[in-house]
Every structure is written in structure tokens, then in C-alpha cells.
Amino acid sequence: MPNNNLRPNRQEMLNILQQQLRPINRYEVLPLTELAGRIAAEDIMAVHSLPNTNTAAMDGIAIRFADLQGTDPSTWQEGKEYIYANTGCEVPQQYDTVIKIENVSFDEKGHLCLHYHPQQKGELLHHPGTQVVANELLVRSGEVITPSLIGIMASGGITQAKVLARPQITFIPTGDELVPIGQLPLALGKQIESNSIMCGAQVQEWGGEYRSLPIIADKAELIRQAVLDAAASSDLVVICAGSAKGTHDYTLAVLSEIGKMIVPELRHGPGKQFSLYMVNDVPVIGLPGPPHGADLISQLYVKPAVELLQGQPLPQPYYINAELTAALDKRDMDFVVRLRLFSQNGKMLAEPINTFVLTRAAAYQQMNSLYYLEKGTSHHQGEVIAIELMVKPEYITESNGDKNNGK
């Protein structure tokens, strides 16, 4: 049995990922319309100032501030002492102040009436560079380009930008019992290979480029070649199953032969059979085969790995205090407890979920939060503990005892 130094807990595993993974250094240039969610590869500076002349901040009339002193606005004429000014439109240089249209009216003779006198020159007048200044820093290198930043870049004259290429993630499904989706009717004793579909959707959501190899049979030589081929063209390889102690579990033996062991297994369950190796300087993550564990471990560790490859900080959990509806008993190992968090009569409650007695779909529909229970610790019913949310806070709704978690 590996010692605890090689069996990290959750935080230790995240620290190991930070130590072992480095951002990729491939780049591509994309048009502005394709930049949402991408990572800037360099500082992006404004090409020009905007506006490039004086403009009106609001609909109204443009005037000369000096004319307010010693002249009667009722004698002013359009095109001389004032002009109409529309929001964002140019204000000629001879006018230096804008009065919004709500503060302007005309009497029965058509004479101008002002209901507000500006207190200083330049009110409601946007000068050149009010929005963007030429050579101003718009996006920092390493920053995620958001829709708001795309709008700012467009205003600054940017039409394309250099961004970090998406990390290439290759998934290797293994197992003699597996068949790809669509093979119906399902042969007796066979299992649908769903983890590659799930992991692929996750990786794409997290910003990576994804491909899955065909199912690899439980033969050491086939697994070895698949890993070597994948490592040659990937930034991260994820191999699923074959890391336990079954008679056909060859993954760890193969990875130990062709790579450097970083982590052979975790200190916690579910998903204890997670592993991390380096094969030709490419990280290879071993996921547990059971879909419950594969889903959880992918979210806990593959997601941070993809973020780190993109030069991003580790995702930080969001916690909320909740009262347990049932005790969390001691375990002989660290354990990630899945819970249903809900509000009832103004109180936040957390109900432990026994995934062993539920279908995968039923467990998913109930689970919306986690708790990392350390070995040998327990919590009694009614105790308030900090729960890690796995959904947006607004999905935690008032409950009258039903099992709907807002998904």
C-alpha cells in the first residue's frame, strides 16, 4: 500500500497539479467575433482614441457656456447661439457645453426657455478619448476575453487578437466490457462507454480542445501504444479505468513502465483510483471507471488541470453554511460526501445522499453540493458545517421536502 506521501488529499492534489502543470505556449490569431472566452496571449492596446472629437453625452442642445453670462436665452437662435445635439454625435468646436433636452422648452412664440443653467463649462460634453485613449491597455496578457472586453476592443479599433491556443486533451477509454453509444440492443454484460462523452463536454466547457480514442481493449500492449500516441500530440491525456486491482487492470503498470509516477492514487474516495503520471513530459491523468467517480474526479481535478494549462488560477470553491439533516459518520479514509442543499423556512439544510442506493440519474438530480470529510471525523445531525456548492447559488431553492435541487 503506498504511503500517505504518495496518497494526497484534495488540497494536496491541487497543489501537485500546480507544481506539475505549466501553461501551453502555442498561440493563434482570431477575429474579434471569435474571441469570447479565449485567453489573451499578449497585452492588447487601443489603436485610436474614441470619441475622436467632442460628442454629446445626452440628447439636448449644445451652447457656448460664455453666452449664459449677460445674454438672454430667449433671444438665442438655432444654428447661432445653440444647436440640437444627439447622444454620441459630434458637437462642433464652437460649442462647449450641452443642456439635456428635458431642461429645454419653447414658449408660444418659439422663444427658447432654459430650466437649468449649467454650473461649469463642458457639462454633458464628451471630449476625445472619453471612452478609449490611443495606446491604452484594453486587455492584459493572460486575461480571459469577456463579451464586455470584446466591446471595448471594438471601440479601440481592434479587429483581431493573438490568443493562447486551446489545450489539446485526449481521452482514452479502456475496458473489454465497454461498447460505444448507439449499439442497440445492448449485448448481455456489456456497458455503454459514457465517460468519454461526459468528459468531452466538460473539457469543451472548460476551454479545451477534445478528442477521444476508440475503446481500447484490456491488453497492456494496446494501452501502452495508445498512451504513447496520445502523449505525442496532446497537452493532457486522460485515461479511464484499469487503475484498480482487477485481473485486467493494466493502466498503472503500463504508466509506471513508460512514465514517471507522480500520484498513484488519492487519499480520498470516491475516485480513490485517480492517478497522475508524466509520460514524455505530458501529464497523464487516470480516471476511475465507474461514471459516478469519473464525473466527480473530473470536476475536482481535470477541470483545474485544464485551467492551469491555460495559465489561469485554480477555481475557488464557494461555501455556504448549512445544518445537517443527518449525521456524517466516521470513515476509515477521507471521503467526498455528496449532499442536497436546500432552504426550508429560512434555514439552509444539507441532506447527505447515499449514491449506492440511487441510480446515477437520481443521484445527479439530488446532488448540488459537497463536503470533504476527513478520516476519523464525524458531524452530528443538526450541526452547521460549511458546504461547497456545485451549482449557482440561485438554484438553491425553498423546499417543502421534495428532492428538486433546481437542476
Q: What is the pLDDT of residues 243-272, one digit of tens each?
A: 555 555 789 999 999 999 999 999 999 999
pTM of this structure: 0.86
Q: Are strands 160-164 and 27-31 parallel, antiparallel or unpaired?
A: antiparallel
pLDDT at res. 243:
59
Cβ-Cβ contacts under 8 Å for 190 (sequence gap 6 or more):
177, 178, 179, 183
Upstream peptide bond of 185 is cis (omega within 30 degrees of 0): yes
**What residue spans define the domains of the chain?**
4-25+166-309, 27-50+130-164, 55-126, 319-395
Contact 349, 341 (CB under 8 A): yes
CATH code that applies to domain 319-395: 2.40.340.10
Q: Give 303's pLDDT tier (boundaries 50, 70, 90).
A: very high
Q: Are strands 268-269 and 334-344 parallel, antiparallel or unpaired?
A: parallel
Distances (CA, A) of 382 to 316, 342, 350, 390: 27, 14, 9, 22
What is the spatial distance between Cα 45 and Cα 272, in angstroms, rounded to a whole number? 47
- CATH class given for the domain over 4-25+166-309: alpha beta
Tens digit of pLDDT for each residue in 18-43? 999 999 999 999 999 999 999 999 99
Cell numbers at 268, concatenated: 480520498
Residues 356-362 have a mean pLDDT of 90
Pick the CATH number of 55-126 from 2.120.10.10, 2.170.190.11, 3.30.470.20, 2.60.40.420: 2.170.190.11
Tens digit of pLDDT for each residue in 45-85? 999 999 999 999 999 999 999 999 988 999 999 999 999 99
pLDDT at res. 250:
86
Strand partners, 125: 56
Residues 289-303 have a mean pLDDT of 94
- CATH class given for the domain over 27-50+130-164: alpha beta
Please say if the pLDDT value at position 241 is more than 80: no
Tens digit of pLDDT for each residue in 82-105? 999 999 999 999 999 999 999 999
**Which residue type sits at 386?**
A
For residue 325, the surrounding DSSP H or E stretch is none
